[in-house]
Amino acid sequence: MEALISEPAVPKGERQYLIKRYYLDWEFAPDSLPVKKGELIAYSGQTGAGPPHLHFEKRMPSNLPLNPLTNGFPLADQISPEIGAMAFVYCDSNSLFPNGARRFAHNVKFNKYEKKYSFDSTVFIQASFGLEIKASDYIKPGGAENNIYKLRSYIDDDLYFESQYDKYNYDETRMVDLSYDYFEAVKNKDSWYLLYEPAGGHFSASKSSYKEGGIFPVIADDTYGLHKARIEVYDAAGNMSELDFSFYVAPLGPFFESEKISDSVFYLRPNVNAKYLDIKDIAIYGISGGGGYRLINPKRIEPKGDRNYQITLPLGEQKLKGFKVKVFGQSGWGKDDSYVALDKESDLKYKFDYQLIDGGILLTALSSEASAPSPVIKIVYEDGFSRRLETLPIASNRYAAFYRDVEIDSRISRLELYNHTDILCETKEVNIVMAGTHTEKTTYRCNNDFRFTYTNLDFYSPAYVEVREWAGWVPQERNVISRIYGINPTIYPLADAVTVALNLEGKPYEKNLALGRKINKGGWEWIKPEVNNGWLSIKSYLFGAFAVLKDTEAPLIKKIYPAGGGRTITNNFPQISCRITDDLSGIEDDRNVTVLLDGRWLIPEYNPETTELKTYPDRKLANGKHQLEITVMDRAGNSRTAKSTFYVKDK
């Protein structure tokens, strides 16, 4: 409910009765409602999400909202922001962290003596990256969580990136997606602030001193080595929290190569990239038929000159399947470097899967045995061109690779997995295109009854997108009257709405049809479509699963008060209430709810969050019989009317 503001010339609620609407958009002339300090001016209502609240905003003459805490309405606040964690995000087109992900989150600890946050170790980096921070602010202990006011990142004491939230430009509403980690916010409900500008746009609240927009470029010898960094997090009152950390930059790839001398003796030799490392020590971990990697006695590692080592592996009942090398640096970093498979049978089996994320394709593979040689994945385009990817070992039998190439327009039609002897293990037929590369409209079709249309303006930056028939669980299957199509990735920020269209396949269009999008809560979002030559089309800012829906069931009206059946109440001004539910198309707004008491229209106050409808008589009810009639219509046009006859008798 919007705030109801009384005005002497217009009695409370009169405008609602005049236009027969509960919701009002009512503007007042300047100085037409003078108020005094301490005077009651409004009651809070419950429009939108969350508990009842009243909006108060301060705006510039250009209608840009200002941050009230830094523009004349400060609050007493002596609590510094809290830093929960930090993350490194690779920003190139192929790199992965040792865990097989594009993103590596790191916990932080707070030193109460230095009053700073820090890491336990130095982070090892091998590609261009951006930083994210998970932080929150509280004005009082146990109070509501507030947004951060200002963020700054420094690398080697140079200001690298800054965000400051003083005002808000409505023209940049979609661009807000670029100021935080969209995936983490949608999937995990976590607030991670970006300390870099992702590809595709500039949010005016952010700025960088470098052309890369806060992305640290790992491109040359002069970036390799140890770097010191800090992040400052401010609230609107000026309280600041600091996170200090270090990271070590090195070239891509492993740093040691192995050479087999005998069944149990291997040599480790540094490759050309090892010269950039401040190597302190190495450790060798072996793996047998079961369990994970176990540390091999350091006495079996014998230095042989400049960073060369002889490894003597143990023999016995628990024959090793393979070993890995972990490298430690003088700067406090550690990295799982070389994986060596000792058992290389030609009949090893592998399987794999893929996920569209970060604009690319993340591929993960599993082997049938521990410490098997890394498999190879081939990206096959519809024109016959293919790209071969080496996978990165990330566990005893798990491997990963990441692929993104914005220069190739052809559709990816197939993914193939090969073992170390180039035997094909598994094939996946796919339907993946690089979207957002052309200014003209592009239509992506599937089975001749699904269309997905977009331009480059709909994407912040080019990204792989796949359209295919949906193979997952289908909610409310009885209401689905078409094939279901999925656009992946289901979580991806769009700069503008794309067009999604489904063919009715000869079925006539009816008003109770819509094009629905599957939502995470297990239902469907009902979206009224445009109809053209048997196609239903909608604009959508979200990907996911889409289908044609049909709603033939009217809303339910329950728990009516005053209850019918000729019951008697003793209140001349009773609250009139009921519960309204609809399991598909839903109730659009207050115009779809009508409450008549003795034939007189009453203001319908419907809260879709609680499903509660309530109102009050506009006058004192006389003793005797009264007729209540409630009519509700859903978005599909299905209507239900409930009537209640009751009596009023004074106490």
CATH number at residue 368: 2.60.40.10
With respect to residue 68, please indicate whether it lies within any of the assigned structural domains.
no
Is 471 in the same domain as 534?
yes
Assess whether 93 and 238 both reside in one domain: yes
Do 5 and 30 sit in the same domain of this protein? yes
Confidence at residue 4, expressed as pLDDT on a 0 to 100 scale? 42
Tell whether 76 is covered by a domain.
Answer: no
73 inside domain:
no
Residue 77 lies in a domain: no
The answer to whether the CB of 574 falls within 8 A of the CB of 561 is yes
For residues 45 and 107, state if they share a domain: no
Query: Which residues have CB under 8 Å from 112's CB, separation 6+?
Result: none
Examine the domain organization and report whether 144 and 193 are in the same domain.
yes
Same domain, yes or no: 624 and 640: yes
**Tally of residues, the chain:** 651
Which CATH number fits the domain that encloses residue 529?
2.60.220.30
Range of the domain at 277: 256-341
Asked if 363 contacts 391 with a C-beta cutoff of 8 angstroms, the reply is yes
CB 311 within 8 A of CB 284: yes
| Same domain, yes or no: 478 and 456 | yes
CB 363 within 8 A of CB 282: no
- Provide the number of structural domains found in the chain: 6
**Are both 237 and 278 inside the same structural domain?**
no
Residue 455: which of 479, 437, 476 has the closest Cα? Answer: 437
From 193, 225, 249, the end of a domain falls on: 249
CA dist 604 and 246 (Å) reads: 60
- Can you list the residues of the chain whose pLDDT is less than 50? 1-11
Assign residue 561 the CATH number of its domain. 2.60.40.1220
Question: How far from 233 is each of 28, 238, 249, 332, CA to CA, in Å?
Answer: 39, 9, 25, 25
Q: Are 401 and 392 in contact (CB under 8 A)?
A: yes
Instruction: Indicate which CATH number applies to the domain containing 242.
Output: 2.70.50
* Cα radius of gyration rounded to whole Å, the chain: 32
Instruction: State the pLDDT at residue 3.
Output: 41
Q: Are residues 567 and 514 in the same domain?
A: no
Residue 376 resides in a domain: yes
Shared domain for 105 and 241, answered yes or no, is yes
Residue 385 within any structural domain of the chain: yes
Q: Tell me, what's the pLDDT at 420?
A: 86
Q: Which helix (H) or strand (E) holds 16?
A: helix 14-19
- Determine which helix (DSSP H) or strand (DSSP E) holds 486, and give its type and residue range: strand 485-488
What ranges make up the beta strands (E) of 520-563? 524-527, 530-532, 535-540, 544-550, 556-561
| pLDDT of 584 | 94
Give the pairing of strands 593-597 and 498-503. unpaired
- The per-residue pLDDT for 203 is 76
Domain assignment present for 66: no
Domain shared by 244 and 110, yes or no: yes
Asked if 85 and 252 count as a contact pair (C-beta separation under 8 A), the reply is no
- Please indicate, yes or no, if residue 146 is contained in any of the structural domains: yes
Residue 303 is encoded by which pair of tokens?
Answer: 């230095």
End position of a domain, from candidates 403, 430, 457? 430
Tokens of 251: 């070239």
How high is the pLDDT of residue 356? Answer: 97
Final residue before a domain boundary, out of 494, 526, 550 = 550
pLDDT tens per residue, range 11-43: 456 888 888 988 888 788 888 888 899 998 777
- pLDDT value, residue 41: 79
Same domain, 540 and 562: no
